[in-house]
Structure 1
Amino acid sequence: MTSVILIIYTFVIEQTIIVVVQKPTLKQYEHLLDQHEGLYCPCTRISIQYSEFIKMNPRFHQLCSSDFTSIQWIQYLFGDRNYSNPYLFGGVYQNSFWDRISNYDQLDFRTLAISLFYFLSQLCRFSQEVVQAALIAFQKQTFINSQAMSRSLFDIELRLIIEKFQLQIPLKMLREIQLITGLIQADALQSDYESNWVYQVNRTGTGFDVRYDVSVIPRQFSNCNCRTSSNCRQLSSMRSKNGTILFTIPGFYVGCLPSQALIQSTMECFYNQSCIDQIQSHIDYQQVPLNITPLIILESSRYSPETTIEEMLKKLFVEQWDSQTYFEQYYHQCQPTYCQYQYIEQYSVSSITKLTGLVGGLNLAFRLITPILVISFLHIKRKLFKAKNIAISRKDIVP
């Protein structure tokens, strides 16, 4: 009966088995992870720098390494292939430059082009510097995790971290540009090219009593007024001395602020060799055209020819990040000293072995104890029988 009770107990009561694997390799870890839920592998290092297992190699848009952001193109627009220091937006230029463009309208492409393309080259350079500085700072950040994670969870976590990084880094640059533009608009600062405010001189009086009144009026672009908005614009063009339009540059704008108009523009003309040739044919202060390679339309590019410079700037001109994450290096840095898992069994080989030993021991004990119990029982029974007989005899002797 006891054996039966023990057997029932063994098969009904659950047992928790704890297994510890010391210094598991990556292969062992992934095998254990596949086989056991609730695997616990504490990391030796809970704080790991991103540089240990994340590599990013950003590739920038072809514009930033093209002829159109090169010093040769800017020198060509300037009219002096030895000049190497054009200042942004009408700064200090040689008199010969002003002489060359004095016959053009203030908003003529040839007047503004040198500043616009110099500004564009600086946007590219600044974007690259921002990205490189952000990458250095990012790789010094730490990934904190107390226990080893699965490869799939690692991939998900790292993808979210990288996407957040890529979205955040352009924001500072864009805020700075918007701040500068806002200050110029709020303070009514005048562009050196009079693209937003125009001087108007009125002469009154005659003889020795001549008076000149100078006023500044906002420039109009169609129905848009530069007093109220810095986003007014129109397509950039090249005009003859009498104002006739010689050529309009597709997608390229001029507006209240040259910088603002530029970022609203596209580079679609500069993907087209014939469009480039048209521009060069009207740069009449240059005798020999510059050998210019147009931008290439790539199906793999995230930008189309109609993408605005502002849209490219929002992504810091990055074409592709080429980010790689390395789970093996992460696991090596995590370096768990052990992995532990547990499982529940209702019966096991060890339990059955113990039970068998216990039953065998009980059987042996019963064999040894049973004769003693029988002898003791018979002895007690004899004594009781003898005592009963004596009592009956005494009863018969009574007179």
Structure 2
Amino acid sequence: MMNMKTFLTWIYNFIWNYNLFTLEEDDYDDTNADPVLFLRKQKYKTRLYITLFTVFLYILFYGSWIKVESETIIISNVTSNIVDELFSEYGQTVSCPCSTNTILYQHFLSNNVTMHPVCSSDFIRKEWIEGLYFSNASQYGIWDFRRVAYSQFELLSRLCLISQKMASQIETDVDNTELVNINLLSSKQIQLEINNTIEFRKNNALGQMISFLNYWHTTIDRTFLVSALGTNWMLRTSFVNNTPNEIFGLGTPYLDINAEQFRQCGNAKVINPAILPSLSIDLSQLTSFWKPDFTSNITIVKGFFVTCTSLDALFESTMDCLYEFECVQLLIDYFPKLNQVFIIST
């Protein structure tokens, strides 16, 4: 027991007094310092040196011990399930010694682009739009859908065409995008990367479309472009002594049904439902060009509106009429040319 205690005491004293930086006895005279303090500093340096050296050896040993050795495994008839199993077991440490590290999306991606039902329907066809045309459309009241139907559907057709071209361009860009990776990716990771690529393309296209429509809308408002149908501005001539003096423009007045007063384009924008009068009323019998006779038999065209410009009206439209048989039949009744192209049967 005494020998063990003596041995432990010796170990303790050895560690406590161990000094790697011991100087010769004569060297202490050259330091001009207290030998006791100087010796204490040497011991502190020794302990710090040994500690750092031990940590370094541990890191070196641990790094060598955990070094991953690559292993080549040949797997035939690789399927997506096998890939998912390998990824689940080994993660991204699995790599494939392929001859190429890139592949186009079009080699493994199938696109299915779905347009809005209206943009895929007969309602944007040339025959339908031409069937809505009236050479005397400007003679109808500004609230009459026959005045603006042609321009609204023509504009709708052009916007659908732009959308189709943008969708086709997005599809082409996605197909030509390269997937670059040398490590194994799970099907979920590949799907996530594809979805991010598609979402980026869609957001970019949406931003371009919104910028284009805002520019178009601002150009119409700021430059006071006059619609040929007089839906936003009317040209008038002043006379002096029965002689034309000047031509000036007036904002087209629209009845604000809620406020029961007229508001002019340029000063305000009023959105009203598009209306069709009774077929029994002749054009010459219309009592008001600006205000419909609500006491007579009138029909509201569901989901369509009239306002200063066809663009503004189309922005507000939900086009509910095009989803109902009775409403589509109503349009065919009011636009005789449609009977030459479209036949609707129950």
1:284-323 residue pairs with structure 2 within 5 A? 290-292=342-344
Contact 1:107 1:193 in 2 (8 A): no
Match for residue 215 of structure 1?
248
Amino acid of the structure 1 residue aligned with 2:276: M
Instruction: Quickly say closer, same or farther: Cα 1:133–1:38, change in 2 above 3 A.
Output: closer
Contact 1:32 1:39 in 2 (8 A): no
Instruction: Quickly say closer, same or farther: Cα 1:57–1:287, change in 2 above 3 A.
Output: closer
After superposing the two structures, state which structure 1 stretch, 38-47 or 107-116, moved more: 38-47
Contact 1:69 1:120 in 2 (8 A): yes
How many angstroms apart in 1 are the aligned matches of 2:200 and 2:172? Answer: 16
Q: What is the SS of the residue equivalent to 1:256?
A: coil
Normalising to structure 2: TM-score of the pair? 0.64
Q: What is the SS of the residue equivalent to 1:237?
A: strand
Q: What is the SS of the residue equivalent to 1:201?
A: strand
How many angstroms apart in 2 are the aligned matches of 1:36 and 1:286? Answer: 66
Normalising to structure 1: TM-score of the pair? 0.56
Give unpaired runs (5+ residues) of structure 1: 1-12, 79-96, 295-399
Q: How many residues of Structure 1 are paired with residues of Structure 2 in the alignment? A: 259
Q: 2:102 aligns with which of 30, 41, 47?
A: 47
Q: What is the SS of the residue equivalent to 2:110?
A: strand
How many angstroms apart in 1 are the aligned matches of 2:120 and 2:338? Answer: 24
Amino acid of the structure 1 residue aligned with 2:266: R
Match for residue 235 of structure 1?
273
Contact 2:102 2:178 in 1 (8 A): yes
Which structure ranks higher in relative contact order (CA pairs < 8 Å, sequence separation ≥ 6)?
1
How many angstroms apart in 1 are the aligned matches of 2:188 and 2:339? Answer: 62
Q: What is the SS of the residue equivalent to 2:135?
A: helix
Contact 1:247 1:278 in 2 (8 A): no
1:58 to partner: Cα distance: 0.5
Instruction: Quickly say closer, same or farther: Cα 1:36–1:235, change in 2 above 3 A.
Output: same
Instruction: Quickly say closer, same or farther: Cα 1:293–1:20, change in 2 above 3 A.
Output: farther
Match for residue 88 of structure 1?
none
How many angstroms apart in 2 are the aligned matches of 1:109 and 1:67? Answer: 19
Q: 1:65 aligns with which of 120, 131, 138?
A: 120
Q: 1:36 aligns with which of 63, 71, 90?
A: 90
Contact 2:145 2:275 in 1 (8 A): yes
How many angstroms apart in 1 are the aligned matches of 2:345 and 2:101? Answer: 52
Q: 2:163 aligns with which of 127, 130, 150?
A: 127
Q: What is the SS of the residue equivalent to 1:20?
A: coil
1:258 aligns with 2:291: no
Q: What is the SS of the residue equivalent to 1:214?
A: strand
Give unpaired runs (5+ residues) of structure 2: 1-61, 257-261
1:77 aligns with 2:132: yes
Amino acid of the structure 1 residue aligned with 2:95: C
Match for residue 30 of structure 2?
none
Which structure shows the bigger proportion of residues in helix conformation?
Answer: 2
Contact 1:67 1:292 in 2 (8 A): no
Find the structure with the greater CA-based Rg.
Answer: 1
1:162 to partner: Cα distance: 2.4
How many angstroms apart in 2 are the aligned matches of 1:235 and 1:113? Answer: 13
1:103 to partner: Cα distance: 4.2
1:224 to partner: Cα distance: 5.4
1:131 to partner: Cα distance: 0.9
1:160-239 residue pairs with structure 2 within 5 A? 160-205=196-241, 210-221=243-254, 222=256, 225-228=264-267, 232-239=270-277
Q: What is the SS of the residue equivalent to 1:54?
A: coil
How many angstroms apart in 2 are the aligned matches of 1:225 and 1:23? Answer: 78
Contact 1:74 1:114 in 2 (8 A): yes
Contact 2:234 2:251 in 1 (8 A): yes
Instruction: Quickly say closer, same or farther: Cα 1:138–1:32, change in 2 above 3 A.
Output: closer
How many angstroms apart in 1 are the aligned matches of 2:87 and 2:339? Answer: 73
Which structure shows the bigger proportion of residues in strand conformation?
Answer: 1
1:111 aligns with 2:111: no
How many angstroms apart in 1 are the aligned matches of 2:189 and 2:335? Answer: 59
1:19 to partner: Cα distance: 4.7
Match for residue 356 of structure 1?
none
RMSD (Å), alpha carbons = 3.2
Amino acid of the structure 2 residue aligned with 1:161: T
1:140 aligns with 2:192: no
Amino acid of the structure 2 residue aligned with 1:217: L
Match for residue 349 of structure 1?
none
Q: 2:299 aligns with which of 236, 243, 247?
A: 247
Amino acid of the structure 2 residue aligned with 1:40: V
1:218 to partner: Cα distance: 1.6
Amino acid of the structure 1 residue aligned with 2:116: H
How many angstroms apart in 2 are the aligned matches of 1:65 and 1:107? Answer: 28
